[in-house]
Amino acid sequence: MSDSATTPAPGGPGPAQLPDAARPIAAGYAFTGPALELGALLWDGVCHPDAQVRVPLPMLNRHGLVAGATGTGKTKTLQLIAEQLSAQGVPVFLADVKGDLSGVARPGQGGDRVSTRAAETGQSWSAEGFPVEFLALGGIGHGIPVRATVTSFGPLLLSKVLGLNRTQEQSLGLIFHYADTKGLELIDLKDLRAVVAFLTSDEGKPELKGIGGLSTATAGVILRSLTAFEAQGMADFFGEPEFDTAGLLRLAPDGRGMVSVLELPAVQDKPQLFSTFLMWLLADLFHDLPEVGDTDKPKLVFFFDEAHLLFHDASAAFLDAITQTVRLIRSKGVGVFFVTQTPKDVPSDVLGQLGNRVQHALRAFTPDDQKALKATVKTFPDSPYDLEELLTGLGTGEAVITVLSENGAPTPVAATRLRAPESLMGPVDAAELDRAVRESPLYGRYAQAVDRESAYEKLTTAQARPPAEARGAKREKTPAEARGAKREKAPAEEPSLVEQVVGSGMFRSLARSVGTQLGREITRSLFGTARRGR
């Protein structure tokens, strides 16, 4: 990534020409350490290439928000930041909802518009592509398949995907608890359905009676939700091989950070699914990464697009888990940027933890728009700008910015004309995407789905065995044993089928073998996701 942060564009105003009122703003971005170059200061409609607006590299793990109305340039801002992070050796994760971020892999195309933007912002632009790994949820679309097991996904996130209420969410948590303790691995959706059906059967009902039980009505809702979910083609997202999120932390052979682009156009009509899957990726990283504290640069920067979908109709437990994850993952070297239309889409507890802000233009056509505009202005520090007027008058590729300085203090609010990305500002064609996927070192590991023995197969096999076989074949008693049996008291009550299954040697052996891998009961994180050792 080329860098001309302190070089004015030819013919541009020198430092002496910067208005007095704008000098404190420019001084607030004069960092001494490594920083990403975002653009040039705007004042009274004039762009000042000598006054660069930047964000310190070590502060990128303090999280951020990229907001603005549709068509204001949010996607290009993500691309600009991702390029510079990669060039600095920082891996990046991008959720590509619209399908136009794949161009990061290819050099950009110059032209009059790019040349003009580069001159205005003091940028020495050159076309450059970056190392990219293309991913796709469940392999639907162009990318390495990203799958999760139901066990790993956990009850909180799955409840969000299925649209369950609080009571149903708690019941699902009970089902996961039972499966964990009994060594029943929930790999795909048919495993979960089998366990729910078992626990509502005559044989299975006693299993949960001591810890609250599972009502038939609630089980019916869960089963119907699973059926509807599968009917929409969602079953492909759950299964094995499960994607190892440690792969998001890779560097390219030349030392640049890999840009992992999750291609989502094929599932953009399932917004709740992909937003929840993004949270699973983040939660999985959270409980697997070690604490590192403050570092010279982040280990990963994660861009969470369409963030409002994550918070819509979320339960209190779910919101608490998001808040804690965002608060604590910073110390593990991961920065999270939420991308949405207005700051009001993000709960205040989460918004308060986002130290870096890039706010593109807002619209104020309706009373609700005007209310959102006023609320957005209140989230910024005091500024010499008239922010209500400024935020409705910004052009495409312009934004109001405030970030954390090298000492952690907020920088002055700066209206900014953003630089142009150096990679292709648009998608690459499908054939090129598919070729890149087949050539990926991850292809052999994740391309082919695997359906191994898990809860469905184990319960089906155990329940299909005759009771005598489940207890072990009986031999005929000797005459002496028969005479002794007559003197014994009445025999104990015949064990139920579930007692036979769970108490059988086969099931105990199964629990021991699974326990070797997962522990007797799976330890779950804030989101109820299963902890995995790397």
Confidence at residue 305, expressed as pLDDT on a 0 to 100 scale: 86
- Taking 70 as the threshold, does the pLDDT of residue 5 lie above it? no
Phi-psi sector, 284: left (phi>0), alpha (psi -120 to 50), beta:
alpha
Residue 301: exposed, middle, or buried by beta-carbon count in 10 A (0-12, 13-18, 19+)?
Answer: buried
pLDDT digits (tens, 9 = 90+) for 144-176: 999 999 999 999 999 998 989 999 999 999 999
Q: Is the Cβ–Cβ distance between 60 and 133 less than 8 Å? A: no
Look at residues 414, 342, 410, 345 and name the one whose alpha carbon lies nearest to residue 376: 342
Across the beta sheet with 334-340, the strand order is 46-56, 35-43, 414-418, 398-402, 356-359, 64-67, 334-340, 300-304, 92-96, 259-263, 132-137, 144-146
pLDDT digits (tens, 9 = 90+) for 66-117: 999 999 999 999 999 999 999 999 999 999 988 889 999 999 999 999 999 9
Mean pLDDT of 130-151: 94
- Taking 70 as the threshold, does the pLDDT of residue 487 lie above it? no
Residues 6+ apart with CB under 8 A from 212: 174
Q: Is the Cβ–Cβ distance between 415 and 43 less than 8 Å? A: yes
Q: What is the mean pLDDT of the chain?
A: 86
Cα 98 from chain centroid (whole Å) = 17
Residues 6+ apart with CB under 8 A from 363: 69, 369, 392
How many angstroms separate the CA atoms of 274 and 315, rounded?
Answer: 18
Q: What is the pTM of this model?
A: 0.84
Residues 6+ apart with CB under 8 A from 183: 510, 511, 512, 513, 514, 515, 518, 520
How many angstroms separate the CA atoms of 411 and 55, rounded?
Answer: 9
pLDDT digits (tens, 9 = 90+) for 494-526: 444 444 444 544 444 444 444 434 434 566 777
Mean pLDDT of 242-266: 95
Question: pLDDT tier at 483 (50, 70, 90 boundaries)?
Answer: low
Q: Amino acid identity of 480?
A: A
Confidence at residue 465, expressed as pLDDT on a 0 to 100 scale: 66
Express as a percent the part of the chain with pLDDT over 90.
Answer: 62
Q: Is the Cβ–Cβ distance between 161 and 181 less than 8 Å? A: no
- The three-class DSSP label of residue 234 is helix
pLDDT digits (tens, 9 = 90+) for 19-58: 999 999 999 999 999 999 999 999 999 999 999 999 999 9
Report the residue count for the chain.
Answer: 534
